[in-house]
Amino acid sequence: MTRTLFHGGTVYDGTLAEPGEADIVVEDGRIVEVGRGLDGDERIDCTGKWISPGFIDSHVHVMVDGIDILRMMGTPFSLSFYEAAENLRKTLDVGITTVRDASGADLGVKEALERGLIAGPRLQIAISMISQTGGHGDDWQACGAHVPLFVDHPGRPGGVIDGPEEARKKVRELIRMGADVIKVATSGGVLSPRDDPRHAHLRDDEIAMIVSEAQAAGISVMSHAQATDGIKAAIRNGVRSIEHGIYLDDEAIEMMLSEGTWLVPTLHAPRAVIARAAAGAALPPAVVEKAHMVQAAHDDSIRRAHEAGVKIAMGTDCGVGKHGTNLDELGFMREVGMSSVEALHATTQSAAQLLGIDHDRGRIAEGQRADLVVLDGSPDDIEGLAHRVRGVYQDGALVSGEPSAGSAA
């Protein structure tokens, strides 16, 4: 069996430990040794570079690539699946080897990746977001028409429910369709037309039913939760991760610490909406106004949660913004007080723990899957990281990058 040696680089292992020089040996898609002075049948020279576990983005939407309502209305339905293939490729090219799609992608997209029909990160899917009438997932517009972000189809049902029994049935339907995680909206949001991100949505009995049905199937629940009361309702009823967490107060932070709830900040998202609007994207004025309204509160909430010790996993909401810009999130994390190694940990081991895959990936250690990224520079510097990616590996095989920057010599 061929031993592939990654030699001479600085290794960031996915934990909070400081990076150090080490060799990595890969056999049959797995890391079998990490240390100094190792040997191999094939050698990849990483001198002057550093190596990380494959990055993980815990919150993306691969079926869209930047929100523009008029453009989306003029896009043929099936085109989004071809665009998803391109979005997945862009994501892989910046070193992200696993993503969790927070609604939009269906089982067919996941199977296309698993069969090797398209290239991209490993994928977990939520399929559709569960929302109340008038909530973040309700696409009704004031003109009386429905303008969906994701059109319903046989593999992706609508997610609007009211009451515990409708919630129960919707979770079971999504699980039947292949959902790896259930997503619920426990507050309003920025992109939705007729709600307020400061308002809580769904009642405790509805959220509790969603969590109970998901747990019965052995999967977890992620919550779009921006409003303070919506965040607390999600935590109180056993949701595993709070997505966005814009209006966290001290009590909500203490609840997250007590329950071990993860936070997926998506600092990228409001910035992307503002940038898209400035570039001329067709977005309703109310959406742009909400994006400006939430950004300062969002940054402050994530800063305070980090200082308190809340578990953080990197997620971007790319799809709202452009795919391939995912690693900008690490810089935004630095801006709210996280160190470089903490930001890297959030997109490696911590994200793997959130997704329930830490037994398989997220670290550079013996037995872990050899999903690796080789980069120029130093792990202390995470600015402009995407432009420094030189080789991306899945199961030890080069899947993106120039052969001279990553293949066996």
Are residues 49 and 74 both part of a single domain? no
Residue finishing a domain among 339, 355, 371: 355
Are residues 8 and 87 both part of a single domain? no
Whole-number Å distance between alpha carbons of 231 and 355? 19
DSSP notation for 252-310: HHHHHHHHT-EEE--THHHHHHHHHHHTT----HHHHHHHHHHHHHHHHHHHHHHHHT-
Contact 408, 7 (CB under 8 A): no
Are residues 205 and 172 both part of a single domain? yes
The pLDDT of residue 133: 95
Are residues 338 and 288 both part of a single domain? yes
Residue 305 pLDDT > 90, yes or no?
Answer: yes
> What is the share, in percent, of the chain residues with pLDDT greater than 70?
98
Whole-number Å distance between alpha carbons of 131 and 188? 9
The pLDDT of residue 403: 61
Q: What token pair was written down for 373?
A: 């990224």
Are residues 149 and 26 both part of a single domain? no
Are residues 308 and 240 both part of a single domain? yes
Q: Residue 43: give its domain's CATH number.
A: 2.30.40.10
Of 71-75, 83-87, 271-275, 361-365, where does mean pLDDT reach its minimum?
71-75
**Could you tell me the CA-to-CA distances from 151 to 39, 76, 154 in Å, in that order?**
53, 11, 10
Question: Which of 57-66, 274-283, 285-294 holds the top average pLDDT?
Answer: 57-66
Are residues 272 and 288 both part of a single domain? yes
Are residues 39 and 141 both part of a single domain? no
The pLDDT of residue 284: 79
Over residues 40-56, mean pLDDT: 96
Contact 178, 106 (CB under 8 A): yes
Q: Residue 110: give its domain's CATH number.
A: 3.20.20.140
Over residues 178-193, mean pLDDT: 92
Residue range 52-89, pLDDT digits in tens: 999 999 999 999 998 887 787 888 999 999 999 999 99
Are residues 395 and 272 both part of a single domain? no
The pLDDT of residue 404: 47
Burial class (CB in 10 A: 0-12, 13-18, 19+), 35: exposed
Residue 409 pLDDT > 60, yes or no?
Answer: no
Whole-number Å distance between alpha carbons of 296 and 29? 43
Residue 147 binned pLDDT confidence (cut-offs 50, 70, 90):
confident
Residue range 376-390, pLDDT digits in tens: 999 999 989 999 999
The overall average pLDDT reported for the chain is 94
Helix, strand, coil percentages for the chain (3-state, nearest 5): 35, 25, 45
Containing structural domain, residue 392: 4-54+362-406
Are residues 280 and 145 both part of a single domain? yes
Counting the structural domains of the chain, the total is 2
> Can you give the pTM of this predicted structure?
0.95
Whole-number Å distance between alpha carbons of 79 and 86? 11
Residue range 93-129, pLDDT digits in tens: 999 999 999 999 999 999 999 999 999 999 999 999 9
Helix (H, G, I), strand (E, B) or coil at 183: strand
Are residues 242 and 259 both part of a single domain? yes
Are residues 327 and 369 both part of a single domain? no
